[in-house]
Amino acid sequence: MPYFDAASAAPLHPVAREALLASLDEGWADPARLYREGRRARLLLDAAREAAAEAVGCRPDEVVFTPSGTQAVHSGVSGALAARRRVGRRLLHSAVEHSAVLHAAEVHTAAGGSCTELAVDRTGRVAAGDVAAALSPDTALVCLQSANHEVGTEQPVEEVAALCQEAGVPLLVDAAQSLPWGPVPGGWSLLAASAHKWGGPPGVGLLAVRKGTRFAPQGPRDEREAGRSPGFENLPAIVAAAASLRALRAGQETAGEAARLRKLVDRIRTRVPELVPDVEVVGHPVHRLPHLVTFSCLYVDGEALLHELDRAGFSVSSGSSCTSSTLTPSHVLRAMGVLSEGNVRVSLPYGTDGAEVERFLEVLPAVVRSVRERLGVPAAGRETVAATAGGGPEAAPAAAAEEPGEPAASAEPAGLVVDSLGKRCPLPVIELAKAILEVPVGGTVTVLADDEAARLDIPAWCAMREQEYAGERPAERGAAYVVRRRA
């Protein structure tokens, strides 16, 4: 069955499996002990550290193993911030960082620190100039991922690293997604990664802290891993993780496979918008990971789409609000200002068969169509939405949705109010699409919605449909989103 969610977790690399089995026999003892089993474990741990350091591009004594990429980020952020506490307490990070960075930032803020979020453009990319402008004398740390986990966009890490070096501020790079494809270039100070993204087993993260970077580990102290990661080393898994990373690097495997997967992804990027109406492919077209592509389908429920794809045999993930436990759309898509409904992330594992990608392209159009049909959206999109817009929106003066006595409201031409309160993504957008054709050009549709995704998806719909998004107004429940018909 085609598994297209390598960005979540990859199946174990055969080399990692071999190494794991061998080190279950050879590396189960405590590497801190002086007897033969301990010394053997220590040798394995040292060799794994050397291999990992070589793949990362740093010195072995700069690398510690953590229990996960998440904990590598948490420890890296807290340790770097604590060490620079006297310099300042400002943390700069991009708006599209992994939640591990954002959660570490929350702890920093709760403890009295401050955070500045760097905006990204519609492709998900930070401008190096924005980083330069944001670097202040009290900046303790900058966090920038090498590539985004949801849309694949690569960040200008090398350029930002140079700016940070110039300013004397450490840069922490979350390289979880990119490390399988090569070392992170440039003068970063700290780097975090996660083995189960590169074909290693779960239970292993990696934190590199370059010499000369001030670092003060937080939390209870522990002698293991240079005092930077408490608890007994997960040795067999560490050995397997290092073996897998070395195999990716050594065998030229990466370069060839990256190019091959890039072609498959290119094909998806080109063909999906041709095959499926009303689709937005998101992420940077050039500066991106080789194996990952994300698109969003208008008028589609992300959870239903994932379910139907799973029934058809395809495992993918989504940043749609309905697929998250908090029912909010992905913060990445939100920061980019792109459509979040019907969102699909395809991330191809090593060795993905091109025929599977073709089959995905064959299956996708019918799957999207069936989900749309169930939501009352015919296949052809806008035109037919209008034709079937029967018992749709209630007609009411637009002012009903506005604050009483707001003088600006009286100047607006009368419009429709669509009450989508209590309805989940993509229903508010579907109802807007139906309603817009019922008002004259220049007229407005005001959508009342309390689903968080509406805040992102209504403006995104306007951009895709070339309608005018006239802004959001407070409402008794949720918010009122005003759209003016242009054509």
Catalytic residues: 322
Residue 310 has a CB neighbour count (10 Å cut-off) of: 12
Q: How far is the CB of 9 from a second copy (least distance, A)?
A: 5
Tokens of 69: 């990429």
Residue 329 is a binding residue for a second copy (CB under 8 A): no
In terms of CB distance, is 302 or 478 closer to a second copy?
302
Residue 230 is a binding residue for a second copy (CB under 8 A): yes
Choice from 150, 174, 233, 280 touching a second copy (CB under 8 A): 233
Residue pair 173/99 in contact by the 8 Å Cβ criterion: no
- Which one-letter amino acid corresponds to residue 23? S
Residue 486 is a binding residue for a second copy (CB under 8 A): no
Residue 106 is a binding residue for a second copy (CB under 8 A): yes
User: Quick one: 187 exposed, middle or buried, by C-beta within 10 A (0-12, 13-18, 19+)?
Assistant: middle
Residue 440 has a CB neighbour count (10 Å cut-off) of: 9
Choice from 86, 286, 325, 405 touching a second copy (CB under 8 A): 325
Residue 205 is a binding residue for a second copy (CB under 8 A): yes
Which part of the chain contacts a second copy (CB under 8 A), choosing from 206-214, 232-240, 411-419, 420-428?
Answer: 232-240
Choice from 88, 113, 187, 202 touching a second copy (CB under 8 A): 202
In terms of CB distance, is 100 or 416 closer to a second copy?
100
Distance CA 295, CA 298 (A): 10
In terms of CB distance, is 291 or 382 closer to a second copy?
291
Q: Three-class SS of residue 345?
A: strand
Strands (E), 11-56: none
Q: Is 186 left (phi over 0), alpha (psi -120 to 50) or beta?
A: left
In terms of CB distance, is 137 or 219 closer to a second copy?
219
Residue 306 is a binding residue for a second copy (CB under 8 A): yes
User: Quick one: 51 exposed, middle or buried, by C-beta within 10 A (0-12, 13-18, 19+)?
Assistant: buried
Residue 42 is a binding residue for a second copy (CB under 8 A): no
Residue 22 is a binding residue for a second copy (CB under 8 A): no
Task: With CB under 8 A as the rule, give the number of residues binding a second copy.
Answer: 64
Q: How far is the CB of 232 from a second copy (least distance, A)?
A: 5
Residue 68 is a binding residue for a second copy (CB under 8 A): yes
Which part of the chain contacts a second copy (CB under 8 A), choosing from 11-19, 185-193, 249-257, 460-468?
Answer: 11-19
Task: Please tell me the number of Cα atoms within 13 Å of 476 on its side-chain side.
Answer: 5
- Which residue, 376, 384, 483, is CA-closest to 432? 483
Q: How far is the CB of 11 from a second copy (least distance, A)?
A: 5
Choice from 94, 139, 194, 294 touching a second copy (CB under 8 A): 194
Q: How far is the CB of 75 from a second copy (least distance, A)?
A: 10
Residue 454 has a CB neighbour count (10 Å cut-off) of: 30
Of 409-438, binders to a second copy (CB under 8 A) are: none
In terms of CB distance, is 196 or 228 closer to a second copy?
196
User: Quick one: 95 exposed, middle or buried, by C-beta within 10 A (0-12, 13-18, 19+)?
Assistant: middle
- Of all helices (H) and strands (E), which one includes residue 261? helix 253-275
Q: CB neighbours of 362 closer than 8 A, spacing ≥ 6? A: none
Binding site for a second copy (CB under 8 A): 1, 3, 5, 8-12, 17, 20-21, 24, 28-30, 33-38, 67-71, 74, 99-100, 103-104, 106-107, 194, 196, 201-205, 219-223, 230-237, 303, 306-307, 309-310, 314-317, 323, 325
